[in-house]
Amino acid sequence: MKPSIPKGTRDFSPTEVANRNHIINTIKETFETFGFQPIETPSFENSETLMGKYGEEGDRLIFKILNSGDFLSKADDVTINKKDSLKLTSQISEKALRYDLTVPFARYVVQHQNEITFPFKRYQIQPVWRADRPQKGRFREFYQCDADVVGSDSLWQEVEFIQLYDNVFTKLGLAGTTIKINNRKILSGIAEVIGAQDKLIDFTVALDKLDKIGHEKVESEMLVKGISEEAIQKVQPLFSFDGSNIDKLTSLEAMLATSEEGTKGVEELRFVINSITDLGMQSANLEVDVTLARGLNYYTGAIFEVAAPKGVKMGSIGGGGRYDDLTGLFGVKNPLSGVGISFGLDRIYLVLEELGLFKKVDLPKPKVLFINFGEAEALYAMQAITALRKENIKSELYPEAAKMKKQMGYANKREIEFVVMAGSSEMTNKSYTLKNMISGEQKSVNLTELMSIL
RNA sequence: GUGGUUGUAGCUCAGCUGGUUAGAGCGCUGGAUUGUGGUUCCAGAGGUCGCCGGUUCGAACCCGGUCUUUCACCCCA
C-alpha cells in the first residue's frame, strides 16, 4: 500500500511550520493588541449546532461523523431502501466537523452567557473542515483565525476590524491588499427598490459579473432571472460604479432614498468610511463594493472581504461581517449583536510565498554538535553536553560513531555553527577541539572556555 | 455536486506518428581523503511510467474507469 493523505489535506515540513507560525504569531499578537482573548472549541460539534446555519450549500459541505457502534441498526429500513441520503444522514450521524469558527463561537457565547462579561472580545485560531472540491488555495482542512466582538452594536467595532486587518497585513509585509466592505441593509434596500426581495441573490450574482461580461450582458441576465426593466432602471447607477467611496455612497443614498433599511445601511457604511478616512490606513485599501454578498445566511450589517494585492491570483484571504441574530438561533431571549473577521491562514501563506515575503527561517537546531568517536569518547562528550544544556546551550551528540565525513556532513547540512571533536588525546588533556564551521578555524579549549565561547 | 486539465527516479523535468534494455540535472550511497564538512573528480543504487482494465503482434504514448493535481461554475478562507 502506498502511503497517502486524503484529498485536500497536507503535511507540513519544518520550514512550512516555521512560516505558518510566523503568520499565526503576527495575527495573535495583533488580536491581543486590540484587546481580544483566546478561546478554543471542539473540532466537532453536535450536528444540530451546525446544520442549517450556512444554507443548503453549507450543509452539503459539512463533514458528518458516523455514529459509533452498530449505527445502521438504528436507521429505519424504509429510508435505507429508498436510498434517501439526506434523511439517512440524520439517522446515522449526530456529530459533524467544525465548518467555521463563527457558529461554534455563537454556541459558546450562549452556553457560557452567565460567565461572560460583555462586550466579549474573543479570538480563535483553529482548523476547520469542508467537504469541498479542492483547488489552488482551497483545501478540505484549513485554518481560520477569527476575532469577534459580541454584545456591542457600536460601529466603532467595524472601524477597528478594518484597522486590525490593515495592521496584520502591514506587519506581514503584505502591502496593497484591498478590504472590500458592503452592508447587508444596502442589499436589502436594493431588493426593496427593485421590488423583489427574493431575487436579491440573482441580482448580486449578475451584478458581480459586470467587469467580466459587461453592462449589457449583465442586464440581459437580470431580465432572464425575472427582474423587471423598471427595476433595472432604478438601480442604473450601480452599472457605472467606479468612483471614490464617497461618490459611491452619494449615489447609493439617492438610489435608496425610498428604502428605510437601505438608507440605514448607507448611513452605517458612511460612518465607517468617514472614520477610516480620518484615522488613515497603513498599507491596505478600503473599497465599497455593493456586489459583495458573502455569508448572507447570517450577516445583517457590515460585510467584509479581503482581496490579495493585485496580480496575485487567489480567492479572498479574509472575510467577516456583523450578525445580529446568530445567538438568537441558539435560544437566547435577547439576541446579542456580534461582529467579526477571519484571516485565511493557508491562503495568506500562499500569497506571501508567491510574493517572496518569507524571510529565511532558522529551524530549531543545536549550536554545537559533538562528533561521536565511540563509547568512551561519547561519554566524555555527554559530560560536556550535560553541562552545556544546564546553561540552555543547544547541543547534541551525533548518535552513531559514524565516519567523520558523515558526521561533519550532517553538521554542515543542518548549518550547525560549531563542532566539537574529542577523542583519546583530548580526553587525556581534558580538552575539546572546537571547530567553527563557518570560518573553518579550530582550537583546543577546556570545558570552562568551551562554555564561555558558546 | 457539474464540466475540462494533470500524473514518468526522492525533487524538477525530457521521452518524436504506439516499436527492442525509459533518460538528464539536482539529491542520495560509496570511493579519491581509515580524526575534518562545504568545492572538485570517479563509481553506484534508485522507476510494475498514479492505479485497474481494454485495444494492439507490441502501450509511458490510444480507449474506459478510478485516484490525485489544477481550472471554470457553484460556494467560499
- What does the alpha-carbon distance between residue A30 and residue A113 come to, in Å, rounded to a whole number? 26
Q: Is the CB of A283 under 7 A from strand B?
A: no
Residues 114-153 of A with CB under 7 A from strand B: 130, 132-140, 142, 144
How many other β-carbons are positioned within 10 Å of the β-carbon of residue A382?
15
The answer to whether strand B lies under 7 Å from the CB of residue A244 is no
- For residue A1, what pLDDT is reported? 57
pLDDT tens figures, A44-76: 999 999 998 888 888 889 999 988 888 877 777
Please tell me the predicted confidence (pLDDT) of residue A393. 95
Q: pTM for this one?
A: 0.89
Measured distance CA(A378)–CA(A400) in Å, rounded: 9
A364 CA to B6 C1' distance (Å): 36
Instruction: Give the CA A269 to C1' B34 distance in Å.
Output: 78
A28 or A187: which leads in pLDDT = A28
Question: How much is the average pLDDT of A4-25?
Answer: 87
| Nucleic acid strand B within 7 Å of A43 CB | no
pLDDT tens per residue across span A254-299:
999 999 999 999 999 999 999 999 999 999 999 999 888 877 778 8
> Following CA atoms A166, A167, A173, A174 in sequence, which dihedral angle do they give, to the nearest 10 degrees?
-20
Is the Cβ–Cβ distance between A163 and A175 less than 8 Å? no
**ipTM entry:** 0.81
Please give the Cα distance from A361 to A151 (Å, whole number).
41
Q: Is the CB of A373 under 7 A from strand B?
A: yes
Chain B: nucleotides below 7 Å from protein CB are 1-3, 28-31, 33-38, 50, 67-77
pLDDT at A329: 85
The string of pLDDT tens digits covering residues A90-119 is: 888 899 999 999 999 999 999 999 999 999
The one-letter amino acid at A121: K
User: Does nucleic acid strand B have an atom less than 7 angstroms from the CB of A408?
Assistant: yes
CA-CA distance, A16 to A298, in Å (whole number)?
Answer: 34
| Percent of chain A at pLDDT exceeding 90 | 57
Q: What is the mean pLDDT of residues A245-255?
A: 91
Q: Which domains does chain A have, with CATH numbers?
A: 184-285 (no CATH), 368-453 (3.40.50.800)
Nucleic acid strand B within 7 Å of A403 CB: yes
> Distance, angstroms, CA A314 to C1' B62?
37
| A184: its cell numbers | 447587508
Cβ atoms of A414 and A395 within 8 Å: the answer is: no
Residue A239 burial by Cβ neighbours in a 10 Å radius (0-12, 13-18, 19+): middle
